[in-house]
Structure 1
């Protein structure tokens, strides 16, 4: 299971990528699927194991995200609350 992080702007995505690297969290930039959102064209895919670390970074205000989604190999996206 993977997690997709979406953003309101490309700038937020780039900032997030830098913070994830600093924290030792591996993230891969990928195009945002159009069925999810049309706001920002790039997203970051992370492993589900890093989800709690990412939630903490959001809570601390270190990264600004639009939404988190979990998805599997079938590319079925479910929002994470």
Structure 2
């Protein structure tokens, strides 16, 4: 599914770990401040394009990464995506 997706975390440790895993998988990501519309315990989030959604979800599951949620940005804000 096309669009911008954001992964939010409860800990900085999980954000940095995920950044490393996704970079190793050569997925184009953007580490950014967590959008104010998303409540999370960590100030860092990771943005990525929809073309990589299946790969990202697979990595999160396989590596048992703890995330607050994965969100799709749309015209009205952010929508939670089931992981």
TM-score normalised over the length of structure 2: 0.86
Query: Unaligned 5+ residue runs, structure 2?
Result: none
1:38, distance to aligned residue in structure 2 (A): 3.8
Aligned partner (choices 41, 44, 53) of residue 43 of structure 2: 41
Supply the RMSD in Å over aligned alpha carbons. 1.5
What secondary structure, in the 3-state scheme, does the structure 1 residue paired with 2:38 have?
coil
Q: How many residues align?
A: 80
Contact 2:9 2:40 in 1 (8 A): no
Contact 2:10 2:40 in 1 (8 A): no
- Structure 1 equivalent of residue 23 of structure 2: 21
Distance, in Å, in 1 between the alignment partners of 2:52 and 2:69 is: 15
Structure with greater proportional strand content: 2
- Structure 2 equivalent of residue 55 of structure 1: 57
- Structure 1 equivalent of residue 67 of structure 2: 65
Moved over 6 A (4+): none
TM-score normalised over the length of structure 1: 0.88
